[in-house]
Amino acid sequence: MALEAGWGKLREVRLYLPALRNSSASSPNGQATQLVAPEAVLEGASTEFSLPSASGYRFSPADGSAPIYVFPKPPKPDQFPTDGNMVLGEEASRDDGVPAIIGSRWILHPGLRLIDSPNARNNALSSWRNSFNYVDEGTAGSAGIGLRRPQLGALHAIHSHWSVNGGVATVVMPTGTGKTETMLATVISACCQRILVLVPTDALRTQISEKFLSLGILKDERSLVLNPEVERPVVGVLKKIPKSIEEVQDLFSLCNVVVTPSALAGGCPLEVRSKMAEMCSHLFIDEAHHAEAPSWKEFKSVFKERRIVQFTATPFREDGRPLDGKLIYVYSLRQAQEEGFFRQIRFSGVYAFDLRIADLEIARTVLDELGQDTTGKHVAMARVSSTKRADEVYELYKGLGQFNPVVRHSGLPRGACGFKGELVERSFSDRHLC
């Protein structure tokens, strides 16, 4: 396409739009965020465009919707375009030969606003009422996406438990069967007023909060589980211990969901914990087999008048003892294997008696496997016993000069989360994970 416009030549491009997120003002304790629209790719045409204070592109979507302006650096506020939306970004190349413009952050959009009141939270909650459909993936077939058998089973078990019992409930689902989506389905189907989600590590705090923000496959465009009008929840991430009940009120009042590591929650003063319990209708504990450290148990006791659900892949704690609470649903590992939720594992063995040589051979084997990955989507993780050991392994991978090793650990003292040692993970990927 080479149509002429008043300001230059139009050309066919793809515009990669960033997710549209609304957030509250940043605070030391955390921030509330709502995903309004996920990342998207638009086909259309663009032309170079200039303002006195900035130069960029004017993109015209093929569907005829309002134009989108892309600037590497934002223009002055009094020069913002009035006939379209605006995003920060820049031009980039793509392997298929079609020019691309990559947007990084929205700075002008009709849906972009500051979350400064409970209105967004209340609107999301209202949109959940009578909007959940119990669709089995087998029934859905090619028409769309439904829930897996263990997800439906766990969901019905939770609602059944709540109809007759208010005690602690435990749901056992092996990793890979859709445990997190079951949490999301519970929130929407039960129209939970406000949920506090406890996780064992900072890494899981990020992972789970992103799942709640997006609603995962439940909000996929092919999903038959949620009605289209369902709004995603306002999710708060607690990053620091609140010093007062007022600080709890300020963050929690904005949110449908608040996610925090258990060690942080357990370190809160009693009056802060009590305020959290007062403001929340439900407590979800993820990876509950880590939940028997004293700080977890004490924190959970404050929520005894609330509905508590523990989600775990195993009904046993790390010390081998059974979890507390009533086992309301157990989907066994054998069932998961028989029903095809796990693929066959291909084992690559390394044999060495010297620890240093073994580390090196393991690292080389790992990097060889990643090098054969044609999708570029896989990640290798090494779990070790201490930060000192993590530094040793990190330097080993770094010295091999492939991919980009990153170290992650809780930073907590030994045993603070119920572990015998610290949880340390290494991630390697050509996508620069961090």
What percent of the chain has a predicted confidence (pLDDT) above 90?
51
- Going by pLDDT thresholds of 50, 70 and 90, the confidence category of residue 291 is low
pLDDT of residue 419: 31
- Residue 281 CA to residue 283 CA, distance in Å, equals 7
Task: Check: CB of residue 123 under 8 Å from CB of residue 202.
Answer: no
CA 19 to CA 304: how far, in whole Å?
38
For the stretch 37-52, pLDDT in tens is 999 999 999 999 899 9
Alpha helices by DSSP H, listed for 307-420, are: 333-338, 355-371, 387-400
Residue 308 is predicted with a pLDDT of: 92
Q: Is 87 exposed, middle or buried (0-12, 13-18, 19+ CB in 10 A)?
A: buried
371 vs 224, more confident: 224
Q: Is residue 86 over pLDDT 60?
A: yes
Q: Looking at residue 110, what is its pLDDT?
A: 92
Rounded CA-CA distance 80/84 in Å is 9
Least confident of 7-21, 259-273, 399-413: 399-413
Contacts of 37 (CB under 8 A, 6+ apart): 19, 20, 111
Which runs of E-coded beta strand occur in 173-297?
Answer: 195-199, 234-238, 257-261, 282-286
Say what the pLDDT of residue 431 is.
31
Segment 104-128 shows an average pLDDT of 95
How far apart are the C-alpha atoms of 201 and 382, rounded to whole Å? 16
pLDDT band (50, 70, 90) for residue 150: very high
Nearest to 8 by CA among 42, 53, 55, 54: 55
237-257 pLDDT, tens digit per residue, is 999 999 999 999 999 999 999
C-alpha torsion 24→25→28→31, nearest 10: 10
Residue 31, token pair as written in the block:
């921030």
Q: What's the CA gap between 313 and 176, in Å, rounded?
A: 9
CA distance 49 to 40: 22
The token pair that represents 232 in the structure block: 């995603």
Residue 215 predicted with pLDDT over 50: yes
Q: Is the pLDDT of residue 414 over 70?
A: no
Which of 162-171, 239-248, 422-431 bottoms out in mean pLDDT, i.e. has the lowest?
A: 422-431
What is the structure's pLDDT at 10? 80
Pick from 21, 211, 236, 17: nearest CA to 114: 21
pLDDT in tens, 301-356: 889 889 999 998 876 665 556 667 789 999 888 887 777 776 666 777 777 777 77
Region 285-289 average pLDDT: 73
Q: What is the DSSP letter of 164?
A: H
Mean pLDDT for 191-214 is 92
CA–CA gap between residue 384 and residue 368 (Å, rounded)? 21
Distance CA 370, CA 347 (A): 14
**In terms of Cα–Cα distance, which of 430, 421, 355 is closest to 393?**
355
Strands 100-108 and 169-172: unpaired
Name the residue type at position 265. A
Q: Which of 53-57, 66-70, 96-100 has the lowest mean pLDDT?
A: 96-100
The answer on pLDDT for 273 being more than 70 is: yes
User: Does residue 411 register a pLDDT over 60?
Assistant: no
pLDDT at residue 165 in the model: 80
Q: Which residues of 304-330 are buried (b: 16+ CB within 10 A; e: fewer)?
A: eebbbbbbbbbbebeeeeebebeebbe
Whole-number pLDDT of residue 5: 36
Dist. CA 396–CA 365, nearest whole Å: 13
Q: How high is the pLDDT of residue 294?
A: 60
Using the predicted structure, report yes or no on whether residue 25 has a pLDDT greater than 60. Answer: yes
Find which of 110-119, 312-321, 349-358, 393-402 is predicted with most confidence, using mean pLDDT: 110-119
Q: Please give the pLDDT value at position 290.
A: 57
Q: Which residues pair with 100 in a beta bridge?
A: 14, 92
Q: Cα 195 to chain center, whole Å?
A: 16
pLDDT of residue 92: 78
